[in-house]
Structure 1
Amino acid sequence: MRQFTAVVNPTSGASAGAAALLGVARLLREAGAGLETAYSRSLDHARQLARDAGEQGRVVLAVGGDGMAGAIGGALSGTGVPLGLVPAGRGNDFARALNLPAEPEALAGVLLHAEPRPVDTIEVTSAVHDRTAVLGSVYAGVDALANLHANNARLLRGAASYYLGGLRAVTTWRPARYRLTLDGEEHLHHGYTVVAANSGYYGSGRLVAPDARVDDGLLDIVLIAHAPRRLFFSLMNELGTGAHVRRPQVRVLRAKEIRIEADRPLPYGADGEVDATLPVTARVLPGALHVLC
């Protein structure tokens, strides 16, 4: 029977994470599994708790949102330690990409019985991130600014915080000029954002890269070019279904590695965490993480 260590989000997900874990924990213990719970003081502490649990031969549960999943998944990337997810955040986009169930009974069944599946991770390198691995996507532009606003929202959660954060970001945005290097080939881009997607979802359920797969060894590079704000708002609405990729202002490329530079210090985000500015390099690590799903 599996032995689990649940690492709970130290910030906004602490109370929500504890609540989400409660029902699942009871079911795991009733089935005979061992479960320890660790409340981290920071994401760095969460990474260390995950590494320590993995060294003890335990399955690590990331309890929280995409930031927590990305931090712990990144810490376990390349180690062979199985990761389980208990979604309890604003977005839960990587869990969504894996089609994880929300109901405690179904989720407990996955954690108890599913075979670990190898999925890709993204190695992020910049002045702030020294070869840090994340799970879902790296994005640089108006969406990173919107994510920053959403993270700072105190009264709203989920899709509403992302949507209002997006409105605030777009109204003050001026187009950026990007220089992109994809597998050694340079591309110029003028517009709103660049997204290097391992998972198809970001921003609380927005299907930014409909054809992205977490196990194909490639990043889907989504480029949204300059357009009038009214058109961009229409495009934002289409992110819910992925229909935006049919617009002429959107290009999708694929690469194993991308370096993103811009004509000014733009923020970039990685798995919901926005704490750095360009330039940044993102490189796919094929099959580097084993996830229960």
Structure 2
Amino acid sequence: MSAPVTLLVNPAAGGGRALKVLPGVQARLSAAGIEQDVRSTNSLDHGRALAREAAAAGRTVVTLSGDGLVGAVAGALAGVDGAVMGVLPGGRGNDFARVAGIPPDAVEACEVIVDGVVRPVDLGEVDGSPFIGIASLGFDSDANRIANAASARLGNLVYAYGALRALVSWTPAAFTVTVDGEEHTFSGWSVAAANSKAYGGGMFLAPDADLHDGKLDVVFEAHCSRLRFLRILPMLFKGTHVEQPEITVLRGREVSVEADRPFTVYADGDPIGELPATIRCRPGAVSVLLPPESSVAR
């Protein structure tokens, strides 16, 4: 790769992890002869603006951050002619990197920036707001809100912490989910529309989702006891929960969701919309540097 790079760094990502690994990342890219500049982001909107500015100047936009900035930049560059983004893991969850086969060590992951292959990647969107990973709501709304307010010292455990705290006050909700025109109603825990396989720091909610297939995997969990929920929860780390009778998995291009009470929709770790919501797939919307022999995580 010879195009100059703009590194977008979220200073707060991963409890400051991004800043700690930045010198090593810069040294590795410089050793490969890649000219670079570094820009710190102070919000997702700021990151989007910086990404568009860099792309307009013909620079490859590389995020050193968590999934929130990855999704924001991907959305900002979607449909922009010639725009290319790269991803270096610098947050707590780093689920996009995990699924895409990007090494978990940011300096090692620089090899993907140096020798990677540009491939089109699908995006999802919630009422027009783009995301790259998984949009979810219901119980997940409560768990995400709690996790986002928790101490960064918890690391990846913050998502499990959020789920356990949310469990205390959770009551089942009634959902109506329509996938490509087919309606499903149920009482239960959550609904998710997955562009990617994983969220929450390695939870494989949608183990068969594909970043390149032009569809969303729709996963929802029907009502069960709290004890049963706690037994299913660890299965997410291997993706085996989809074998349980409480779990339904569908696939489609457009999903609409309603519920009997308000829920915030979260995606890439951040709030992205409110119910009722329509979630769509945008096939091949953004060009991303991926490993030459990208092995999708299982």
Give the TM-score of the pair, scaled to structure 1. Answer: 0.94
**Which position in structure 1 is the counterpart of 2:296?**
none
Matched, 1:257 2:254: yes
C-alpha separation between the residues in 1 aligned to 2:129 and 2:105?
Answer: 31
Q: CA deviation at 1:267?
A: 2.1
Contact kept in structure 1, 2:129 and 2:272, CA below 8 Å: no
Contact kept in structure 2, 1:8 and 1:14, CA below 8 Å: no
**Which position in structure 2 is the counterpart of 1:135?**
132
Q: Which amino acid aligns with 1:251?
A: T
Contact kept in structure 1, 2:97 and 2:104, CA below 8 Å: no
Contact kept in structure 1, 2:11 and 2:18, CA below 8 Å: no
C-alpha separation between the residues in 2 aligned to 1:28 and 1:38?
Answer: 15
Q: CA deviation at 1:200?
A: 0.5
Q: CA deviation at 1:14?
A: 7.4
Aligned counterparts, 1:1-293, within 5 A: 1-9=2-10, 11-13=12-14, 15-79=16-80, 80-125=82-127, 131-154=128-151, 156-274=153-271, 276-293=273-290
Q: Which amino acid aligns with 1:34?
A: E
Greater CA drift, 13-22 or 146-155? 13-22
Contact kept in structure 2, 1:219 and 1:255, CA below 8 Å: yes
Identity value in percent: 42
Greater CA drift, 266-275 or 248-257? 266-275
C-alpha separation between the residues in 2 aligned to 1:260 and 1:224?
Answer: 14
Q: Alpha-carbon deviations, 1:114-170, whole Å to 9, x = none?
A: 121111001221xxxxx2211001101112211111110025333211111100111
Q: CA deviation at 1:275?
A: 5.6
Contact kept in structure 2, 1:90 and 1:157, CA below 8 Å: no
Q: CA deviation at 1:102?
A: 2.3
Contact kept in structure 2, 1:65 and 1:91, CA below 8 Å: yes
C-alpha separation between the residues in 2 aligned to 1:45 and 1:239?
Answer: 33
Give the TM-score of the pair, scaled to structure 2. Answer: 0.93
Q: Considering only aligned residues, what root-mean-square deviation do their CA atoms show, in Å?
A: 1.4
Aligned length: 288
Q: Which amino acid aligns with 2:187?
A: H
Contact kept in structure 2, 1:10 and 1:42, CA below 8 Å: no
C-alpha separation between the residues in 2 aligned to 1:98 and 1:278?
Answer: 30
Task: Please list every run of 5 or more consecutive structure 2 residues that lacks an aligned counterpart in the other structure.
Answer: 291-298
Contact kept in structure 2, 1:20 and 1:86, CA below 8 Å: no
**Which position in structure 1 is the counterpart of 2:293?**
none
Q: Which amino acid aligns with 2:8?
A: V
Q: Which amino acid aligns with 1:24?
A: V
Contact kept in structure 1, 2:11 and 2:19, CA below 8 Å: no
